[in-house]
């Protein structure tokens, strides 16, 4: 079994280093990861400057081939599979991220996007995150992910399977189980702080507090709150199949008349009037 490890916290992040030490016990291990933190970069890829991959050595695992890349998490997986590794990996694992990747936050996550890149290339993947940010203990999480990886490889599965895994921040002995569940919703309030710089100009800083209001109980958000490890199979298939037939019924075919230049008709909203 050959496993490619990556992350979005940077190649020397503790979560990735701890994972290397567990995964190397069970598989031929390669690491290709960003040279600095790339959290919340989503699925960005680098097109307008050259990518460089520099061979690096972990102090604790000098035998593990590892490359540091001046790109995004998605770049790292693409580059690893298409250009760096001697053979295709059987599995991509991204993480262990410092901080949760739950619910709607997976859209912004570099950790999850790296795993999606694996799936896009036809390699199943696991995205692993530890909810605790300030005082993370990665050993338990890494051991769990290694066990999951072994089972993952053993099981019959589609090549585009991606598991999003979040390990709660509570002490290992307080973890009450594993929930296989759907993604929830993460909502924030006071998203931007409005401040004034020393020259008197306004600037905004993205911060935001989590709204603790989700009532649903069958989601990854709820599972983590209940000290359970959450596992959600997720997909990059973005088509909304519920609406395909409905949209087909709209009067937008060419037989309805040529498409107008867009200069006619009122398109403004109430917001325009207020501005």
Residues near Mn ion (CB under 5 A) are: 8-9, 39, 97
Minimum distance of Mn ion from residue 40's CB (angstroms):
7
Question: What residues does 165 pair with on adjacent strands?
Answer: 128, 231
CB closer to Mn ion, 110 vs 124: 110
Minimum distance of Mn ion from residue 132's CB (angstroms):
13
CB closer to Mn ion, 110 vs 160: 110
Minimum distance of Mn ion from residue 196's CB (angstroms):
30
CA distance 233 to 117: 15
CB under 8 A, 24+ apart: contacts of 149-154:
149/3, 149/23, 149/26, 149/27, 149/91, 149/93, 150/26, 152/91, 152/124, 152/126, 153/1, 153/90, 153/91
Minimum distance of Mn ion from residue 74's CB (angstroms):
14
CB closer to Mn ion, 9 vs 35: 9
CB closer to Mn ion, 9 vs 160: 9
Minimum distance of Mn ion from residue 258's CB (angstroms):
49
CB closer to Mn ion, 6 vs 97: 97
99 upstream amide cis, omega within 30 of 0: no
Residue corresponding to tokens 């002995």? 173
CB closer to Mn ion, 97 vs 131: 97
Minimum distance of Mn ion from residue 193's CB (angstroms):
21
CB closer to Mn ion, 8 vs 117: 8
CB closer to Mn ion, 29 vs 109: 109
Token representation of residue 176: 């009450």
Minimum distance of Mn ion from residue 79's CB (angstroms):
19
CA quadruple 68, 72, 73, 78: dihedral, nearest 10: -80
Minimum distance of Mn ion from residue 265's CB (angstroms):
45
Token representation of residue 256: 């309805």
Answer whether 138's CB lies under 8 Å from 19's CB.
yes
Helices (H) and strands (E) in the chain, counts: 7, 13
Q: 208 — alpha (psi -120 to 50), left (phi > 0) or beta?
A: left
Answer whether 252's CB lies under 8 Å from 201's CB.
no
Answer whether 69's CB lies under 8 Å from 75's CB.
yes
Which residue's beta carbon is nearest to the bound Mn ion?
Answer: 39
């Amino acid at each position: 079994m050959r496993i490619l490890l990556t992350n979005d916290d940077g190649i020397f992040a503790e979560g990735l280093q701890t994972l290397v030490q567990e995964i190397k016990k069970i598989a031929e291990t390669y690491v290709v990861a960003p040279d600095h933190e790339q959290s919340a970069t989503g699925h960005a890829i680098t097109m307008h400057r050259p990518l460089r991959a520099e061979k690096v050595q972990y102090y604790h695992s000098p035998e593990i081939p590892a490359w540091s890349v001046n790109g995004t998490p998605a770049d790292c997986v693409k580059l690893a599979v298409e250009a760096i590794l001697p053979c295709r990996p059987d599995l991509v694992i991204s993480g262990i991220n410092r901080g949760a990747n739950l619910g709607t936050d997976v859209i912004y996550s570099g950790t999850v996007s790296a795993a999606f890149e694996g799936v896009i290339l036809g390699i199943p993947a696991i995205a692993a995150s530890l909810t605790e940010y300030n005082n993370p203990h990665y050993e338990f999480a890494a051991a769990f992910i290694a066990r999951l990886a072994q089972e993952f490889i053993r099981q019959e599965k589609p090549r585009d399977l991606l598991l999003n895994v979040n390990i709660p921040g509570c002490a290992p002995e307080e973890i009450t189980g594993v929930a296989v569940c759907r993604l929830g919703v993460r909502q924030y309030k006071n998203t931007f702080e409005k401040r004034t710089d020393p020259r008197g100009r306004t600037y905004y800083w993205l911060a935001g507090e989590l709204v603790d209001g989700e009532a649903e109980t069958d989601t990854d958000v709820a599972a983590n709150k209940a000290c359970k490890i959450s596992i959600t199979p997720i997909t990059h298939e973005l088509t909304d199949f519920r609406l395909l037939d409905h949209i087909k019924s709209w009067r937008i075919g060419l037989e309805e008349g040529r498409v107008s230049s867009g200069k006619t008709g009122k398109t403004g909203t109430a917001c325009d009037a207020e501005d």
